């Protein structure tokens, strides 16, 4: 399998505690957070990973080079910010497979990628979204599915509250879903594809209860440090 890791964000909310490196390189017990992501991916047989980078990309390249524990690494560098969708569209050019996994570079979600692949290939879809149940959806917004695991509704952060399932920041998709978009144009994958197309095209949700943490805010970054 091949994977794209979105590692180009500015990490504005984390800047008060991590200012000298890009957010995916935030130190966790003496190691960059991005190593934790790669350590979870490599046992599942990923043989090529594309790092979608931008802000301080030189520091990521200097640390990892062209491989990590035998896995080939490529870099899709954004000269100007492209958003999640534009970054994914830019990175898919470096992939060889039709089906690719995409992972947020600031979220550690220890799912079973073999099981995700089985789920994806057993559905008539170009996109599977990994969901996580949380006690409070207000920080993220929520995602609702029908009895067949097809996504049926998105609820924005302002209206979401209480227990529910959220977008866990991991996707498995067919490359055509991205290649329909213009190259080099910024867009949001969440708003411009997920939320605008789910009523017309069947997108499915794979729900996992695996360990999940988003280091986007200082409190959760500290929690991950404590956990490790």
Q: In the prediction, which pLDDT does 11 show?
A: 60
CA torsion sign, 19 to 65 to 99 to 83? Answer: positive
Q: Check if the beta carbon of residue 26 is closer than 8 Å to that of residue 33.
A: yes
Q: Check if the beta carbon of residue 174 is closer than 8 Å to that of residue 127.
A: yes
* Cα–Cα dist 165/182, whole Å: 31
Q: Count CB-CB contacts under 10 A for residue 80.
A: 8
Domain spans in the chain, listed from the N-terminal domain onward: 2-227
Q: Check if the beta carbon of residue 186 is closer than 8 Å to that of residue 81.
A: yes
Give the closest residue to 92 by CA, choosing from 184, 168, 167. Answer: 184
Q: In the prediction, which pLDDT does 208 show?
A: 97
Would you say domain 2-227 falls under CATH 3.90.550.10?
Answer: yes
Q: In the prediction, which pLDDT does 159 show?
A: 77
Q: In the prediction, which pLDDT does 157 show?
A: 81
Q: In the prediction, which pLDDT does 217 show?
A: 86
Q: Check if the beta carbon of residue 117 is closer than 8 Å to that of residue 1.
A: yes
Give the closest residue to 183 by CA, choosing from 89, 111, 78, 66. Answer: 89
Within 13 Å, how many C-alpha atoms sit on residue 186's CB side? 7
Q: What b/e sequence results for 210-226 when a residue is b if at least 16 CB atoms lie within 10 Å of its CB, and e otherwise?
A: eebbbbbeeebbeebee
> Which structure tokens are listed for 99?
């089906």
Per-residue pLDDT of the chain (228 residues; tens, 9 = 90+): 999 999 987 667 676 667 778 889 999 988 999 999 999 999 999 999 999 998 889 999 999 999 999 999 999 999 899 999 999 999 999 999 999 999 999 999 999 999 999 999 999 999 999 999 999 998 889 999 999 999 999 998 877 788 999 999 999 999 999 999 999 999 999 999 999 999 999 999 999 999 999 988 889 889 999 998
């Amino acid at each position: 399998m091949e994977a794209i890791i979105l590692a180009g964000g500015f990490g504005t909310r984390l800047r008060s505690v991590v200012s000298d490196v890009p957010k995916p390189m935030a130190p966790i017990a003496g190691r960059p957070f991005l190593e934790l992501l790669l350590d979870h991916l490599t046992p599942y047989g990923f043989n090529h990973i594309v790092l979608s980078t931008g802000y301080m990309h030189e520091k990521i390249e200097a640390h990892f080079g062209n491989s990590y524990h035998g896995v080939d690494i490529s870099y899709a560098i954004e000269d100007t910010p492209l958003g999640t969708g534009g970054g994914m569209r830019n990175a898919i050019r470096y992939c060889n497979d039709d089906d690719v996994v995409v992972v947020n570079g600031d979220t550690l979600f220890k799912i079973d990628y073999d099981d995700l692949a089985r789920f994806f290939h057993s559905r008539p879809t170009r996109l599977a979204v990994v969901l996580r149940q949380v006690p409070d959806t207000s920080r993220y917004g929520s995602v609702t599915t029908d009895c067949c695991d097809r996504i049926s509704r998105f609820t924005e952060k302002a209206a979401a509250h209480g227990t529910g399932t959220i977008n866990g920041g991991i996707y498995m998709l067919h490359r055509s879903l991205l290649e329909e978009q213009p190259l080099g144009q910024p867009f949001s994958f969440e708003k411009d594809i997920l939320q605008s197309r789910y009523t017309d095209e069947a997108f499915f949700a794979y729900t996992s209860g695996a360990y999940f943490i988003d280091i986007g805010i200082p409190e959760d970054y500290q929690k991950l440090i404590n956990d490790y």
